[in-house]
Amino acid sequence: MSLTSEEVVTGGNDPSADWSRDEHQGELLGPQRTSTAAVRESARLAKFHVPEIVFGPGSLTELGHCGLRLGGRRPFLVTDPGLMAAGWADEAVAHLRRAGLRPVVWSDITPNPKDHEVQGGYERYVESGCDVIVGVGGGSVIDAAKGVAILSGNGGRILDYEGVDRVVQPIPPTVMVPSTSGTGADVSQFAVITDTTAHIKITIVSRTLVPDISVIDPRLLTTMPPWLNAATGLDALTHAIEAFVSRAHNPLTDMHALHAVELIMGNLLRTQLEPRDFGARLAMAQAALHAGMAFTNAILGATHAMSHQVGGLLDAPHGVVNGVLLPHVIRFNAEAWPDRFVALGAAAGLPTQGVPAYEVAAGLADLVRALADDVGVPKGLASLGVVEGDVPVLARTTLKDACMATNPRLVELRDVETLFREAL
């Protein structure tokens, strides 16, 4: 079972524990308050769910064996036109065939996968008699593959599953191969789908969506266009920061989040300036993995809740929107809980010794904005097409997003409106 909003507030699913909340810091404290944060943290229930992970250059060659081990005979390979053109889909098909499998390829996906695209993929899956579902691509491909899996095991419409733990029936085995260094979809319990009628993105959260196997081959990152490299890298950074300050964080997620921040701050710009630097690519693949493992277990916060609405309205690149919003949300959350940002600042390379916590948080926000500038992300949402008249609707739908439940600071409608206006 995933960590629900109720469990976040009550401290897990143990009804015998007399949990209380420290409102200033957002911590979940046990029956006996102690002076040692580590002891307090270790007393909390920690849930950590990740796939089997095959990581490293050339790991795509293992794809056929992965499919076989999951009982596959006729894999349904989900990809997109960009991966087809880059040759990675053909290589994946070859590895599947070499293992004796008979894959069917479906690539009718656009960025920010749409509800009708998922329905079309599901219908193709059923008519082709496939079993294991394989996703080769970025977050849009992997989310679409998860959507097909949801419908094949649960029926109905994909929009029926918005929210937490609404996917109750088992889904087909899944193997995901990420082609970007940031979305974390290959290890997460999330799927984000665009509702084309309401022009919003819905978030589906369920433990059943954690893939069985993630195959992470950094070679696939070398064919990303620069804008996508920047967007997905900032998405990974947002995952790590939001997971670390989430109300549902724990010592296991903290470790992965901090290491992801360190790797991203040290390598994302290098991949932009020197795209053939394979050491930097390898580091970013690992960073995306760490950030993904952190956020799928700790969940996220206001940045993602807001970003989903902009993406649904304008079909804008998710990571780019995150890059614009994240500095504003850091400052907002730090007003209530600055201490939590000190470790993040240190991981990002900021001096923290003797520096007031809020100054460290403000410095982190500035550093994130500087990195966004360096990789070419616009300074405001207006550059992406958001106008003042969009703010009230965006704010209202933001409050309904599942990611808002774990934001460290309680957020009201006027707060979200203010954040959107600051980010214009």
Predicted confidence at residue 378, as pLDDT, reads 96
pLDDT of 64 above 70: yes
pLDDT digits (tens, 9 = 90+) for 13-57: 322 222 223 333 333 333 333 345 554 555 567 779 999 999 999
| Counts of helices then strands in the chain (DSSP H, E) | 16, 11
Q: Residue 305: which pLDDT band, with cuts at 50, 70 and 90?
A: very high
Residues 167/152, Cβ–Cβ less than 8 Å: no
Looking at residue 111, the DSSP 8-state letter turns out to be: S
pLDDT of residue 185: 97
* pLDDT for 238 beyond 50: yes
pLDDT of residue 40: 58
- Exposure b/e, 320-344, CB count within 10 A at least 16 = b: bbbbbbbbbbbbbbbeebbbbbbbb
Q: Per-residue pLDDT tens for 333-348?
A: 999 999 999 999 999 9
* Contact criterion met (CB below 8 Å) for 270 and 353: no
- The answer on pLDDT for 2 being more than 70 is no
Q: Residue 301 and residue 362: Cα distance in Å, rounded?
A: 18
The DSSP secondary-structure symbol of 114 reads B
Residue the block writes with tokens 């769910």: 49
Supply φ then ψ for residue 376, to 5 degrees. Answer: 90, 25
pLDDT value, residue 45? 73
For position 37, what pLDDT does the model report? Answer: 55
- Which residue segments constitute the domains of the chain, with CATH numbers given? 5-42 (no CATH), 52-221 (3.40.50.1970), 226-423 (1.20.1090.10)
* pLDDT, average across residues 83-94: 98
Strand ranges, E, within 160-300? 163-164, 174-178, 190-195, 200-205, 213-216
Question: Cα dihedral angle (334, 359, 262, 201), rounded to 10 degrees?
Answer: 30
Averaged pLDDT, 403-418: 97
Note the pLDDT of residue 46.
79
* Rounded average pLDDT over 58-67: 98
34 phi and psi angles, rounded to 5 deg: -120, 170
Q: What is the pLDDT of residue 47?
A: 77
Range in 6-20, 69-83, 171-185 with the lowest mean pLDDT: 6-20
**Average pLDDT value for residue range 255-282:** 97
**Whole-number pLDDT of residue 11:** 34
Per-residue pLDDT, 44: 66
Min mean pLDDT across 33-47, 373-387, 398-412 is at 33-47
The chain-wide mean pLDDT, for the chain, equals: 91
Of 31-40, 144-153, 263-272, the poorest mean pLDDT is in 31-40
Average pLDDT of the residues in 64-87: 97
Question: Which H or E element spans position 54?
Answer: strand 52-55
Global confidence as pTM: 0.90
- Burial of residue 39, with CB atoms counted within 10 A of its CB: 0-12 exposed, 13-18 middle, 19 or more buried: exposed
What one-character-per-residue DSSP string does 290-337 give?
HHHHHHHHH---HHHHHHHHHHHHH---HHHHHHHHHHHHHHHHHTT-
- Residue range 214-236: average pLDDT? 97
